């Protein structure tokens, strides 16, 4: 049964922020730490020792309390706030993915995050007809009661936001929630914050970098019941969003285009590989008919223990470390397979993997797979 949504206390929110802003802590590691230690504050205190036991020679950076306090104060001054996984305003669809962001910064009308959403993405160098179609289908889906999510990029993203503004739109930003990117969309960003909502994972003031965009694309797909791709080249960020959607069990729609236009090659290929051909809003609502009849899940509260379990014995952990390192390599393998082959308990394996993760020696992959980071820096043993 889904736990009831609950609001974090001010101290808990500060601890959550410190934990997710600490070095080598991503969404999966964050939730593993919560389950293991029971509270974010206890997990923060454990980070240096975990990293040391995982082979880290230099210290791991733990987000200072004062730094987290400044971020919370900056958000408040901006009229924004942090919404935590499990709280009432956390997007229900995003909470259902395997690696939801523990915290998202929100500006604007947060009630829109609880509504059913469709994502519309596509080419930055979109054609005039592509932009026109994106505006029209966004407006039509908005009139059907959907909030439209997109990434604020130039081209299709911007057109989708514009078409959806009268009904409700959510911009998922790659950088800080205070950074309009690209700069040419600053006015549009201002309208979205005033009339819709904007969300992001990065600290305030963060200028978007290339590594931020796949994370943003994961959230765009995660907040939506389905993703509509309008014009996408063969190698396109929009196709990354579509792949995330498929991995998350969401519907993928693609608008067909001319085979002579390279901007349509990616969308046409999605159709060839099973995406729903989309020519109107009706194609979206008909394909989602079954999903729309199901009630939305409430925000998911993290399933962590109220008190931490007894730690494994040192001798048991040492044996497990040797066994896990022997089984790991550069090729991704499922965590369950590591546990089975090493013949250790899940609790012991989780502790060892947390140590390696915090030391920067573990890479995580979709499908709960992991591999050993063979390019770890010189501060690792």
Closest CA to 101 of 52, 174, 197: 174
Size of the chain, expressed as the number of residues it contains = 381
Examine the domain organization and report whether 252 and 330 are in the same domain: no
Which residue among 60, 91, 122 closes a domain? 91
Residues 6+ apart with CB under 8 A from 150: 119, 120, 121, 156, 157, 160, 161, 169, 170, 171, 172, 220
The domain tally of the chain equals: 3
Show the domain range for 322.
314-372
Co-location of 149 and 64 in the same domain: no
Contact 152, 181 (CB under 8 A): yes
Residue range 130-175, pLDDT digits in tens: 999 999 999 999 999 999 999 999 999 999 999 999 999 999 999 9
The per-residue pLDDT for 21 is 98
- Please check the confidence at residue 120 and state whether its pLDDT lies above 50: yes
> How deeply is 171 buried, as exposed, middle or buried, from its count of CB atoms within 10 A (0-12, 13-18, 19+)?
buried
Task: Please tell me whether residues 175 and 279 are part of one structural domain.
Answer: yes
Whether residues 48 and 175 fall in one domain: no
For the cut 60, the answer to whether the pLDDT of residue 32 exceeds it is yes
Average pLDDT of span 112-135:
97
Shared-domain flag, residues 40 and 66: yes
- Same domain, yes or no, for 191 and 338? no
SS3 call for 210: coil
Q: What is the predicted pLDDT for the residue at 4?
A: 67
Q: Show the tokens assigned to 55.
A: 């082979």
Q: What's the sign of the alpha-carbon dihedral 311, 313, 315, 316?
A: negative
For position 379, what pLDDT does the model report? Answer: 40
pLDDT reading at 296 higher than 70: no
Q: What percent of the chain has pLDDT over 90?
A: 80
DSSP 228: E
Instruction: Judge if pTM exceeds 0.85.
Output: yes
pLDDT digits (tens, 9 = 90+) for 332-363: 999 999 999 998 888 898 899 999 999 999 99
Question: Using one digit for the tens of pLDDT, what is the confidence trace for 59-84?
Answer: 899 999 999 999 999 999 999 999 99
124 plus 175 within the same structural domain:
yes
The answer to the question of residue 4 being in a domain is: no
Is pLDDT at 1 greater than 50 in this prediction? no
Could you tell me which residues come within 8 angstroms of residue 262 by beta carbon, excluding any fewer than 6 positions away?
233, 234
- 34 in any annotated domain: yes
Whole-number Å distance between alpha carbons of 267 and 279: 12
Judge whether residue 300 has pLDDT over 60. no
Residue 305: pLDDT band with limits 50, 70, 90:
low
In a shared domain, residues 81 and 155: no
pLDDT at 381 over 80: no
**What gap in Å lies between CA 104 and CA 126, rounded to an integer?**
29
Find the mean pLDDT for residues 236-248. Answer: 93
Handedness of CA 286, 197, 99, 5 (dihedral sign): negative
Q: Is residue 366 situated within a structural domain?
A: yes
How confident is the model at residue 293, as a pLDDT? 65
Q: Is residue 379 part of a domain?
A: no
For 183, other C-beta atoms within 10 Å of its C-beta total 8
* pLDDT at residue 266 greater than cutoff 70: yes
Domain boundary among 91, 117, 139: 91
Confidence (pLDDT) at 173 = 98
Mean pLDDT, residues 275-289? 95
> Do 231 and 281 have their domain in common?
yes
- Which pLDDT score, from 0 to 100, does residue 243 have? 95
First vs last C-alpha separation in the chain: 43
Q: What is the tens place of the pLDDT at every residue in 181-195? A: 999 999 999 999 999
The percentage of the chain sitting over the pLDDT mark of 70, rounded to a whole number, equals 92
Q: What is the per-residue pLDDT for 303?
A: 56
Helices 10-20 and 65-78, interaxial angle, to 10°? Answer: 110
Same-domain check for residues 143 and 222? yes
Tell me, yes or no, whether 300 lies in a domain.
Answer: no
Residue 115 lies in a domain: yes
* CATH code for position 341: 1.10.10.10
Average pLDDT value for residue range 92-111: 96
Query: 62 and 109 share a domain?
Result: no
305: in domain = no
Among residues 91, 119, 144, which one ends one of the domains?
91
Q: Is the pLDDT of residue 302 over 90?
A: no
Do 52 and 118 share a domain, yes or no? no
Q: Which CATH number covers residue 177? A: 3.40.50.450
Does 380 have pLDDT greater than 90? no
pLDDT band at residue 368 using 50, 70 and 90 as cut-offs: confident
Output the CA angle 248-92-144, nearest 5 degrees. 90
pLDDT of residue 6: 81
pLDDT at 280: 97
Please give the sequence-ordered ranges of beta strands (E in DSSP) within the chain, or none if there are none. Answer: 81-84, 103-108, 117-122, 147-150, 169-172, 197-200, 226-230, 251-255, 276-277, 333-334, 362-365, 369-372
């Amino acid at each position: 049964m889904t736990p009831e949504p609950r609001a974090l206390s001010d101290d808990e929110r500060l601890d959550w922020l410190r934990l997710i802003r600490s070095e080598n802590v991503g969404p999966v590691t964050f939730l593993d730490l919560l389950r293991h230690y029971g509270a974010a504050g206890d997990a923060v205190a454990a980070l240096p020792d975990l990293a040391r036991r995982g082979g880290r020679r230099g210290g791991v950076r733990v987000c200072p309390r004062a730094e987290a306090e400044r971020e919370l104060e900056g958000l408040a001054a901006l009229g924004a706030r942090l919404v935590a996984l499990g709280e009432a305003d956390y997007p229900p669809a995003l909470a259902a993915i395997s690696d939801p962001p523990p915290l998202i910064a929100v500006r604007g009308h947060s009630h829109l995050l609880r509504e059913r959403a469709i994502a519309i993405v596509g080419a930055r160098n979109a054609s005039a007809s592509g932009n026109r179609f994106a505006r029209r289908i966004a407006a039509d889906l908005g009139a059907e009661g959907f909030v439209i999510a997109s990434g604020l990029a130039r081209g299709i993203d911007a057109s989708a936001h514009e078409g959806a503004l009268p009904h409700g739109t959510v911009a998922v930003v790659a950088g800080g929630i205070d950074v309009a990117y690209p700069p040419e969309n600053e006015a549009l960003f201002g309208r979205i914050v005033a009339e819709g909502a904007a969300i992001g994972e990065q600290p305030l003031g963060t200028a978007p970098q290339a590594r931020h965009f796949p994370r943003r694309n994961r959230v765009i797909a995660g907040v939506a019941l389905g993703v509509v791709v309008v014009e996408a080249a063969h190698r396109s960020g929009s196709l990354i969003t579509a792949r995330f959607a498929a991995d998350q069990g969401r519907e993928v729609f693609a608008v067909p285009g001319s085979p002579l236009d390279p901007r349509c090659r990616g969308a046409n290929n999605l159709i060839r590989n099973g995406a729903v051909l989309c020519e109107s809003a009706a194609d979206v609502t008909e394909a989602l008919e079954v999903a729309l009849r199901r009630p939305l899940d409430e925000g998911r509260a993290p399933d962590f223990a109220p008190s931490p379990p007894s730690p494994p014995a040192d001798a048991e952990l040492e044996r497990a470390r040797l066994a896990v390192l022997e089984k790991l390599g550069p090729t991704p393998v499922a965590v369950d397979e590591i546990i089975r082959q090493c013949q250790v308990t899940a609790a012991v394996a989780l502790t060892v993997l947390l140590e390696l993760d915090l030391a920067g020696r573990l890479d995580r992959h979709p499908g709960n797979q992991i591999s050993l980071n063979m390019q770890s820096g010189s501060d690792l043993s």
